[in-house]
Chains A and B, each alone.
Chain A
Amino acid sequence: MTSMPQTLFEQHFYGRQTGVRGVMSAHAVSSLLASGSSCSSVPVEHLDYDFIQSCSDLKHLERILNVLRSRQEGFYPHLIDFCEKHMEELDPKNRFLWKEKPAATAACFSSEEWSDITEELQEWETNIRMNEVKLSGSSMFCDADSVPAIRCSKTLQENIRSEVKKHKTASVPRAYRDWDRFDVEKECAKIDECDMNPPAVITRPAPQDFKHTINSAALRDQEKDALACREKDKGNESFRSGDYEEAVVCYTRSLSLVPSAAAFNNRAQTHIRLQRWSAALSDCQAVLQLEPDNVKALLRRATVHKHMGHLQESRDDLLKEPHNTTAQKVLMEVTETAAQTHQQKHRAGRKLFIQECDDGDDPEIMTNTHNTESPNRDRSEESIQTDRRVGPAPGTTKAPPTELTHLKTEEHLLLGEKEALETNTQTVSENTPAETRRRSPSKPRRSVPITEVEDEEGDEDQDSAINRPSVSLQPSNAFEFGQVLNAACAHGDLLTCAELLRNIPSERLPQYISTQLNGQTISFIIKTLNKHLRSHPHLLYEHLKHLQTTHRFSNTKYKHVNLKIQVMYTNSRDDLQADL
């Protein structure tokens, strides 16, 4: 990282830094730097491209930047830019990168964008002028009764302050003689008294303090709409900050003025977060009465049904929106739960036949039941562990994937690593029309025949070129890859990502990533590679090699990402060469 401290002063300074890290702010450091005239803590050797490139200590980079900006050692604008860019890669939100810049003008935008902005403003101007005319045109009547009475007047003389002052005068005696006057018993009693009256706990306003309806008698439609909208916005804000109770109140108030599908929808979602299923259900129904095609309402109702156990209704709702990705995910969960409950009903005495058969041409599902373990069926990506891969939920399979994995490992041990790479496990097909997680083999595979089989129709995806070492995330196209990656990314699940990357061939990586080419995903992938795939240097090397060749990476936007990948690539290449 940084070179060893060269001079004695540096050592001293670094030592101090580590000692008081967190106490010394960047500002303090910079002021120190400024004051330390000749003995700068940053040696001149550090003001160098290579050093800055290799340095990843933000604090040190900040110091370097300070020295460069102060021009003590000379003015190197290009070096300053380079340092800033490097810092931005490491920490985009660093305050040292804040720069003064002028306000944007028409010149900063493309002509379409600028015309969009000006047209939007123009439209708003005309609308608001119409509204204003409407507002002033109608008769103004002041309903004095609806406005609350004048607050009873009182002068707040800050009584508390004076009390505090009195208390302060009775402080601990300072002079020696005062101690004679100090009465121990009285002080103790006072302290005890303080303890007994704990400081008044300021409680949050009770829910009944919030009014759930608004008196809209005195308002006209325009005002009602505006108020309802405002309440809905307030509800959204409360929802975003996690205050669900408050959000419900705000939405209720909005609805008391103007019933709107959006407010009902949002309130349904809040009820779902609070796990009030029946309330959520009634709100969803209300939305669907107003707008029968409202996608969000359908999805939310499906979720509610799922949690209430009405799996069939849930599926019905979800099937109305087959193209929605969220719907598909929820549908998988629903079918899984259904399968689980079904399996639990048929618990007793199923035997497992372990047969090794070569079913090269039968791509249908072969699943099995097992009577020992009830696997962890939680389909959600975040609960996946590296050794327990939950297979995708098929229509009505009862597969205990964990057991299968155990079988797999046994088989692997039997066959040896190489052959295991070629074995395929089970094929799962689903009822959903779009993507499926296919394991369709066209190679000989070990399968365990089911006692209960259900053949599902589904899309065949004969992408057999992909090696599938285990029952796991084995995407067969860019979309699936994208889905899993997005889910993993959203949950910060590096393990899933690692497994994913392990299972796809490196040559395919550019193609798969092409749909997900944004900074967040790329950095996530890099993180995973860095963390988890170090044990497979060869794989890492291949991945990085192909990652670099991804189309659009040459784009300047991603130059710094590309740079990072290159660094890792060279490192891994060195590692590999070292191993060989």
Chain B
Amino acid sequence: MTTTLEKPQIIAHIQKSLNYTVFESKWIPCSAKFICMGNLARGTGVMQIYEIQHGELQLVKEIEKAKPIKCGTFGATSLQQRHLATGDFDGSLNVWNLEVPDCPVYSVKAHKEIVNSIDGVGGLGIGDGAPEIVTGSRDGTVKVWDPRQKDTPVANMEPVEGETKRDCWTVAFGHAFNNQDRCVCAGYDNGDIKIFDLRNMSLRWETNIKNGVCCVEFDRKDINMNKLVATSLEGRFHVFDMRTQHPTKGFASVSEKAHKSTIWQVRHLPQNRDIFMTTGGAGNLHLWKYEYPAQRSKKDADDVDMGVAGTVNLLQNVTVSTQPISSLDWSPDKQGLCVCSSFDQSVRVLIVTKLNRV
């Protein structure tokens, strides 16, 4: 029985109002800076780099681009280079060197419609193997890019001809524990979740969670798939135990209803894969902890292994805004420090305390 004082506290450390709609905010690795990406009122894209200095945010750099920027990731670059890969409203994928932002390091017209989501792996020491970027778009395709290969994707997951295209809302890399293995998980607006295995170039698993999938994330990208969290509309999220795949039943899962509205994002704490935060459409944040069951797998009636899902406990919840919190990013360098941005045109730096005692 923990008293309220032992629970992690979520502190609103700094808040800053911006003059544009901010879609994504990401920490720049190995620094006290983060970058916000969004859409200026005049219809152009903007990236702003802020640094935390003595409890205040200082604007370090502002970069304006032709098209509004929807999403970005540092996942596929090395620690020294720290190039940002962005997807914009036009369907282009660009990789920027933030020191020299005039010209992108890599650019390709990835999709016909807006790039909804982007993820990278192989950089920053996460994941062995080639650095790769995956983009998911409203045109229903999921494409994997290698910055060394121009113009054509390394892998392309698209629906069959004649099939109705479902918007892909979210993508995530996972299972990248050695050079060859990679998995891409994609969530669609009709509730489909699909996992593509890039090693075998095949669909590994798919399921449908009845409501549009807003965000998927593996708990760690660079291990043998352990857990996958998928959030959806109508305030529900599912945690799948990815260690044991049953041939027909798939993966075991536990689901939780929270937020009373769309759950926009889920982000795992980089320092502890069993703690994650979900952000809601009502401007609230919930901090969860996953507890493993005593036995992670059991035999079913036919003596085939099937997984056992654990339980999810709410550690803390706060409301910081009235508008949806569209993005959240944990700092990879400091445990508990995170930046979140919401549709009320503001960005907040939060500190979550006592995470090492959870």
A residues with CB within 8 A of B: 27, 92-93, 95, 98-105, 108-109, 117-118, 121-122, 124-125, 128-129, 131-132, 135-136, 138, 140, 142, 147-158, 160-162, 198-202, 204-205, 209-211, 214, 223, 226-227, 230, 233-234, 237-238, 240-243, 246, 518-520, 523, 557
Contacts and interface: CB of A to CB of B under 8 A. Distances in A.
A179 to B, nearest CB: 28
Given A103-B320, A158-B157, A234 B274 contact: no
A131 B245 contact: no
Nearest to A106: B11
B178 to A, nearest CB: 5
Contacts, number: 191
Contacts of A121: 13, 52, 55, 334, 337, 351
Contacts of B320: 102-103
Contact of A241 (B146, B226, B317): B226
A243 B243 CA distance: 10
B125 A226 contact: yes
B215 interface: no
A103 B350 contact: yes
B165 interface: no
Contacts of B80: 135-136, 138, 140
A154 B201 contact: yes
A215 to B, nearest CB: 9
B158 interface: yes
Given A92-B1, A148-B129, A241-B296, A156 B156 contact: yes
B274 A519 contact: no
A230 B125 contact: yes
B198 interface: yes
A246 to B, nearest CB: 7
B104 interface: no
Given A101-B318, A128-B30, A156 B155 contact: yes
Interface string B52-71: 11110000000000000000
Contacts of A149: 130
Most chain A beta carbons < 10 A, residue from B129, B201, B245: B201
A8 B78 CA distance: 71
Given A122-B54, A234-B220, A523-B1, A101 B319 contact: yes
A217 to B, nearest CB: 14
A202 B205 CA distance: 10
Contacts of B178: 205, 209-211
Contact of A158 (B159, B247, B271): B159
B52 A125 contact: yes
A103 B334 contact: no
B31 interface: yes
Given A124-B32, A155-B158, A200 B247 contact: yes
Interface residues of B, number: 81
9 contacts: A93-B314, A103-B319, A121-B55, A148-B179, A153-B154, A153-B155, A157-B160, A162-B160, A210-B177
Nearest to A162: B160
A67 B355 CA distance: 36
A129 B177 contact: no
B223 A246 contact: yes
B204 interface: yes
Contact of B274 (A118, A122, A237, A518): A237
A142 B131 CA distance: 13
A157 B157 CA distance: 6
Given A160-B203, A233-B271, A150 B223 contact: no
Contact of B247 (A102, A131, A199, A237): A199
Contacts of A210: 177-178, 224
Interface string B83-95: 0000000000000
Nearest to B148: A150
A103 B11 contact: yes
B30 A151 contact: no
Given A209-B177, A241-B296, A243-B243, 13 more contacts: A93-B314, A100-B317, A108-B11, A117-B351, A148-B128, A155-B158, A156-B201, A158-B158, A209-B178, A210-B178, A237-B272, A237-B274, A246-B224
B63 to A, nearest CB: 18
Query: Main SS of the interface on chain B?
Result: loop
B208 interface: no
B55 A118 contact: yes
A519 B3 CA distance: 9
B287 to A, nearest CB: 11
A280 B158 CA distance: 50
B128 A211 contact: yes
Nearest to B13: A121
B84 to A, nearest CB: 15
Contact of B202 (A108, A140, A142, A160): A160
Nearest to A131: B30
B87 to A, nearest CB: 20
Nearest to B290: A241
A150 B1 CA distance: 52
A550 B350 CA distance: 41
Contact of A125 (B32, B78, B181): B32
Given A140-B81, A156-B157, A156-B202, A104 B9 contact: yes
B158 A161 contact: no
Contact of B130 (A151, A154, A227, A240): A151
Nearest to B220: A234
Given A98-B317, A205-B181, A150 B154 contact: yes
B12 interface: yes
A156 B9 CA distance: 45
A523 B152 CA distance: 63
B204 A202 contact: yes
Contact of B156 (A140, A155, A205): A155
Contacts of A92: 1
Contacts of A95: 257-258, 314
Given A98-B317, A125-B53, A240-B274, A147 B11 contact: no
Given A124-B334, A148-B129, A202-B204, A557 B3 contact: yes
B155 A154 contact: yes
A151 B198 contact: yes
A158 B206 CA distance: 11
Given A117-B11, A204-B243, A519-B1, A150 B258 contact: no
A147 B131 contact: yes
A103 B125 contact: no
A93 B160 contact: no
B79 interface: yes
A246 B223 CA distance: 9
B102 interface: no
Interface in B1-18: 1, 3, 9-13
- For the complex of A and B, the 3 pairs showing the least CB-CB separation, nearest first, are A519-B1, A199-B247, A103-B12
Contacts of A140: 80-81
B154 A151 contact: yes
Contacts of B130: 147-151
Contacts of A238: 223
A227 B158 CA distance: 35
